[in-house]
Chain A
Amino acid sequence: MKCKRVILAAFSAGLLLMCGQLYAHHGGAEYDRSKSLSLKGTITDFRFINPHVLFQFETKNEKGEVEKWQGEVSNPLQLTRQGWNRHTFKSGDEVTFIGNPAKSGAKSLWIDRIILPNGQDAGQLHNRY
């Protein structure tokens, strides 16, 4: 797993150097693109499914209370081509999710980046050319 993450991180480092501002393609209307949250959490579920790969995770708010959140990234075929599969993450993994929150106020995130415990990025998460 560590080796795989190093590979993912190396790949993503190259991509991030080439690419400019991260742009999240999706329906768009559900999320507030003007806001960005960084949530450190523990994954409770990872679904490598169509049309978007889904996460559920727990994170602590400012009061120290545990909140249950969900998040989504790109379609699984895109991620497969970057080395992801259904085992890339698992319950218990601790990561930091960075993304746009839902306009509704629901605890839901359009995930732009996933930062691994070693500080490295988990890779390109969205449909970018």
Chain B
Amino acid sequence: MTSYLDTQTIVSRSAFAAQMVLAVLLLPLACGARQEKGKATSSNHDLSGVWKMPPEAYGHYDQSFGTTDLPMTPWAQGKFEAAKPSEGPKSVTIAQLNDPFYACYPPGVPRIYLHPFAMQIVQTPKEVIQLFEYDHLVRHIYIDGRSHPGDPDPTWMGNAIGHWKGATLVVDTIGFNDKSWIDRVGHPHSEKLHTIERFRRVNQSTIQMDLTLEDPMAYTKTIEKQFVFVLQPKWGILEHVCIDNAEFLEFNNREVQPAK
């Protein structure tokens, strides 16, 4: 004999079934969220935005580490004495200097942080990309688990890899050439330069970066410095072309000629 369910029962069982289906569909999301929370939330891995360079990049500080008393080796001391910088106690006129920065070569790391131009950070799953306003330099920090090449060809900005340690992005860079200075007052570095930058977004508008600089050929001790970057929500990256300076050089020639 056929029996029929009453309407109330049908509705009740249908609702229950729908809830079960929904639960099954949402289960992976719920599990994923729990796993994400276990690692770290995406928000404290977010360094993205346009950032103002630290105070050391501005005129008060000679765009340096704030001292000429870095622990140089004899090799570095010789290089420093041969340097003819635009800033600091040994500064010379533009026509006299031998700072590669003035020839529009890349400033390298950490000097890229010592010039008053903006920096945009863009993140992908495999890279943290720094878009520097200064001469539109781009730096790729690979966070895909790769190691440094065994014997990287030296470059101006080096070979950078990174990984997240909690809320801190740890960036390890080697493979620099020795053609740049680490600051504007003329401190040198060798191809043995090794930098570690630890970036942490301490609040919505601030990144704190702790720099460790090692170069056994140039410095007898590790150099450490902290830089602070402030978010600039209203800034975009503007165009800066270093080599577009012919008119300025002509101006500069006039300023150093004695008055007639």
Contact = CB atoms under 8 A, between A and B. Distances in A.
Interface stretch (B3-11, B89-97, B149-157): B89-97
A5 interface: no
Nearest to B63: A25
Contacts of A129: 55, 57-58, 60
Interface string A55-80: 00000000000000010100101101
Given A25-B58, A72-B251, A30 B259 contact: no
A25 B251 CA distance: 17
Contact of A77 (B87, B238, B251): B238
A31 to B, nearest CB: 8
A127 B248 contact: no
B242 interface: yes
A77 B240 contact: yes
A29 B254 contact: no
The binding surface of chain B is classed by DSSP as loop
B116 interface: yes
Contacts of A96: none
Interface in A18-70: 23-30, 47, 49-52, 54, 70
Interface in B52-79: 55, 57-60, 62-63
Given A29-B92, A51-B248, 10 more contacts: A25-B59, A27-B86, A29-B96, A50-B240, A50-B248, A70-B255, A72-B255, A126-B59, A129-B58, A129-B60
